[in-house]
Structure 1
């Protein structure tokens, strides 16, 4: 099939899923093109080696996939105007570059932000090209619940403006892929036909290099023969407002009496300065702020972790969100301590993958830290083994790509997911579609 992938984010940005989907579908014999923006996430500046062009075609090859980049306003700050301009500019640029994907049989949309679906929605309306939404962040909550918007009145106004368009987009999509059961329920409540909603858990490409693979008998390579004392917790990711690392720092300050207890925060973001100030103010000497570390240098840090931290603020949207840090930790066989209520807490508790604490409550999180500290090393290793086994069984790349391929090919072929003005009402097949490979247009 001829498949177009539309995503605002793509490597070298640290957003692996759209690239995994594009490359995976190409490996399976499909003709795949990617329409994306110039890389700037998460630094908020253009990646080295790139120069935005308002005209002309900036193309590259990514394995068996042709990638076309289009200009956009670069902004990853807390400015609502800057962030919304970034989202809107990519939507406009991708819409203007529609000729690049005109011959596609189906469009796969990596829907974060949801505005990436504006072009595919228009092409569905005018050309009858079906599109599949892979919903990673639920709107309008991702906008109204973020620190971009200040004040309830403004948040309500933005939600009221977005709601009709979101409902139309869900109804128009040939299929919607949710990243968890809670999100799937909400998509149906908001207009997506239930028979067109599929749940596919995200996956992680994380893996130990051969020289750093943990001993299958248990324990880490850097653990001394007599066993490691203390407890090392690692948070690796965006240091943003939503991650609520303030609660982590406050909880760590409450357990300063635990010998050998330490928290490593690896990453950067808009909340980095505030977290630095809080660490100093609370004299949380057991918290180390490591800053950003290149991904290829992260293995020694992960290898030293007893648990990985997966925190988020207590917002309704996060109760139906499964953050990528969870998949990566489980893929590496590292148990987690999470403050994400809803689907994540239920999963971690049910499967014995770590410990769950109430969001936004440093006292409860400190209790979880003490409980983890008191666990015998054998039980920590057992949690890690369960994490690895669950990742292989339920969050594997192969299983996810199998599911996504089924959804995308079903959306492009005749059947209940066929929509659009060019569809034959009796057969569901599109009329008058041009044939040929994507390269022909």
Structure 2
């Protein structure tokens, strides 16, 4: 089968959507499907195009049995609401001729990853002209996140944005999403139930089983292995609200046995580093994103994992980092309201994680104390991962449902 994947984020990005889009493309290619990807040069979470990639020219090459065409785009160093829109629109425009050129190839399946909705018209056009199945897979609800974070305002603009979103979703043959609550939201937006498909993020379970704490890795990151590690690993941006983690570190600074390890990059990192320096905190260590090969050891080296998001984001954006935390048997503190997908996960599977109120330093500190009191290995988390997050099971089922 010929599969065209249209995604702004792709390998070798290590976090978020790029990680999953790269893994799914390679998985399909390894099983005999012909896969073409239209994407951008890697830039996330740094918001800077990586060395060795161009922002001005198109580039096509074979990567792990997959044909990948990278299209130039505008990448703002300090992304504001307007700059983000220009960023997404620039990729839509630059990728349009590449997507339309696939008419000669005639794909059987066209998959668009969201973000970005700006690319929907050309993806739909190719699918219709080639009589291919059209699938839109939702990682982020762009419109919800934009208004939830206050990046856009105005009743008229809001009505227009939601009308366009609903129209796009209904035009695709299938609408998939990474969580049940996100599928419910799609249904509330007017998508027929028979079009919906559950396509959660996954974990390579076998890579994370039986992994032990690595003192050597902690030392290489500047952390004393004798201390208990409170780990945040992932993107550092507006959605996370990591200032509260710094405030929690400030309150716990007298606990000499604890250290906050913040691993990652993003537009908000410099602000966090400045804040920790301003408070003169010696219990906060910053480190760059680590290679995927060392991720199991990194996660296994933490006594507590911090899965932190702002109010209004927890249900629109499912944090991809959580799948691997569960697979390694980590004890996580999750900031989410009870009615969100993350909140329901914690209530439906008691003991899988500690849920606390978002944007509350008091609640975060209390949650950390509760997580530190839990057994070293969370068997409820590993059991859930083995049953629901296995990569092979998820990708096999998804492909069977959409074709």
TM-score by length of 1: 0.80
Maintained 8 Å contact 1:92/1:119: no
Residue among 214, 220, 245 paired with 2:242 = 245
* 2:30 pairs with 1:27: yes
Match of 2:305 in 1: 308
Q: Cα distance 1:114–1:340, how it changes in 2: closer, same or farther (>3 A)? A: farther
Maintained 8 Å contact 2:92/2:118: yes
Shift of 1:76: 5.4
* 2:348 pairs with 1:350: yes
Residue among 325, 335, 339 paired with 1:339 = 335
Match of 2:70 in 1: 69
Shift of 1:291: 4.0
Q: Which moved more, 1:21-30 or 1:273-282?
A: 273-282
1:130-209 alignment, distance < 5 Å: 130-146=133-149, 149=151, 152-153=153-154, 156-205=155-204, 208=207
Report the Cα distance in structure 2 between the residues aligned to 1:403 and 1:264, rounded to whole angstroms.
37
Maintained 8 Å contact 2:55/2:74: no
Maintained 8 Å contact 2:12/2:22: no
Shift of 1:132: 0.3
Maintained 8 Å contact 2:232/2:306: yes
Match of 1:322 in 2: 318
Larger Rg: 1
Shift of 1:308: 1.3
Q: Cα distance 1:244–1:119, how it changes in 2: closer, same or farther (>3 A)? A: same
Report the Cα distance in structure 2 between the residues aligned to 1:179 and 1:249, rounded to whole angstroms.
29
TM-score by length of 2: 0.87
Maintained 8 Å contact 2:107/2:130: no
Shift of 1:390: 1.5
Report the Cα distance in structure 2 between the residues aligned to 1:271 and 1:360, rounded to whole angstroms.
16
Q: Cα distance 1:40–1:222, how it changes in 2: closer, same or farther (>3 A)? A: closer
SS at match of 1:108: strand
Maintained 8 Å contact 1:111/1:117: no
Shift of 1:337: 1.0
SS at match of 2:376: helix
* 2:383 pairs with 1:395: no
Report the Cα distance in structure 2 between the residues aligned to 1:94 and 1:12, rounded to whole angstroms.
19
* 2:114 pairs with 1:115: no
Q: Cα distance 1:214–1:294, how it changes in 2: closer, same or farther (>3 A)? A: closer
Report the Cα distance in structure 2 between the residues aligned to 1:330 and 1:177, rounded to whole angstroms.
22
Structure 1, residues 91-123: CA drift from partner, whole Å, max 9, x if none?
122222234422012201111223232321233
Shift of 1:206: 7.2
Maintained 8 Å contact 2:208/2:324: no
Report the Cα distance in structure 2 between the residues aligned to 1:51 and 1:71, rounded to whole angstroms.
7
Q: Which runs of 5+ in 2 are unaligned?
A: 217-224
Shift of 1:311: 0.4
* 2:400 pairs with 1:406: yes
Shift of 1:245: 0.8
Q: Cα distance 1:127–1:304, how it changes in 2: closer, same or farther (>3 A)? A: closer
Match of 2:220 in 1: none
1:227-306 alignment, distance < 5 Å: 231-306=228-303
Match of 1:86 in 2: 87
* 2:16 pairs with 1:16: no
Shift of 1:6: 0.7
Taking only aligned residues, the RMSD between alpha carbons, in angstroms, comes to 2.6
Shift of 1:374: 3.5
Report the Cα distance in structure 1 between the residues aligned to 2:123 and 2:109, rounded to whole angstroms.
9
Shift of 1:310: 0.5
Shift of 1:45: 2.5
Report the Cα distance in structure 2 between the residues aligned to 1:76 and 1:198, rounded to whole angstroms.
35
Shift of 1:252: 2.6
Shift of 1:339: 0.7
Q: Which runs of 5+ in 1 are unaligned?
A: 410-441
SS at match of 2:142: coil
Report the Cα distance in structure 1 between the residues aligned to 2:385 and 2:303, rounded to whole angstroms.
17
Number of corresponding residues: 387
1:420-435 alignment, distance < 5 Å: none
